[in-house]
Each structure stands twice: as C-alpha cells, then as structure tokens.
Amino acid sequence: MINIQEIDADRLEMAASMLKAIAHPMRIAILKHLEGGKKLTVTEIHELLGIEQSTTSHHLGILKDKGVLCARREGKNTYYYLKHDILSQIVDCLQRCTCE
C-alpha cells in the first residue's frame, strides 16, 4: 500500500539528493566543463581544477551516484559526461542569479 504522499516524499528526496550532489563549488565547476556533451577523464578534470586525484574521483563518484553524470570506461581512462543535457539549465540559472 503506497500513498501519494510517500511517492511525493520519495521524489523530493531524489531531487534533493541530485541537487545536493551538484551543490559544491568544485562539482559545479565540473559541470561547467562538461556542458555541451563534452566528455572528460578523471585526470583531465583533476588537472583542470587543480585538486587531488582522489578528491576528483570522489566528486565524480558522487555526481555519478546521484544520477548527474554517466561514466564510460575506455581502456585505462574513464570518461565522464552529463546524463541529462538539461542540467546545464541549473548552472545557467545560477549564473544569472548570482550576477548582482
């Protein structure tokens, strides 16, 4: 027996956990670099952002876990990319809201 409120609560949880995944300066920076369907490896991102390899991997893992990114392994590299292109909207929206 499932009721509407439970479904709604689950949706809210899911949305929140997705947003929480994005809500970090480095992870927003990662999304910016992946806009437009770009695919980057862990090493590329860790060099672009100037943060530790393991920290980078942690962040990417979180984003993948929460359904923000997808990962595809190709040989020694793992390419990460946006799961939903529309997620760029969120970054754009933030960009507009933080102009003042």
Partner DNA sequence: ACTAAATATTCATATATTTGCATCTGTTAA
Partner DNA sequence: TTAACAGATGCAAATATATGAATATTTAGT
- Contact positions toward a copy of itself, by CB under 8 A? 9, 11-16, 18-20, 22-29, 67, 83-84, 86-87, 89-91, 93-98
Distance of CA 30 to CAs 7, 49, 57, 67, 92, Å?
Answer: 31, 8, 11, 14, 14
Picked from DNA, a copy of itself, none, the partner binding residue 37 (CB below 5 to 8 A depending on kind) is none
Picked from a copy of itself, DNA, none, the partner binding residue 62 (CB below 5 to 8 A depending on kind) is DNA
User: CB-wise, 1 or 6, nearer to DNA?
Assistant: 6
Yes or no: say if 72 and 79 are a contact pair by the CB < 8 Å rule.
yes
User: By C-alpha distance, which of 12, 21, 3 is closest to 87?
Assistant: 21
User: By C-alpha distance, which of 15, 14, 10, 27 is closest to 61?
Assistant: 27
Identify the helix (H) or strand (E) that includes residue 82. strand 77-82
Residues found near DNA in the complex (CB under 7 A): 17, 20, 23-24, 26, 41-43, 51-55, 57-62, 71, 73, 75-78
Least distance from a copy of itself to the Cβ atom of residue 62, Å = 12
Least distance from DNA to the Cβ atom of residue 69, Å = 10
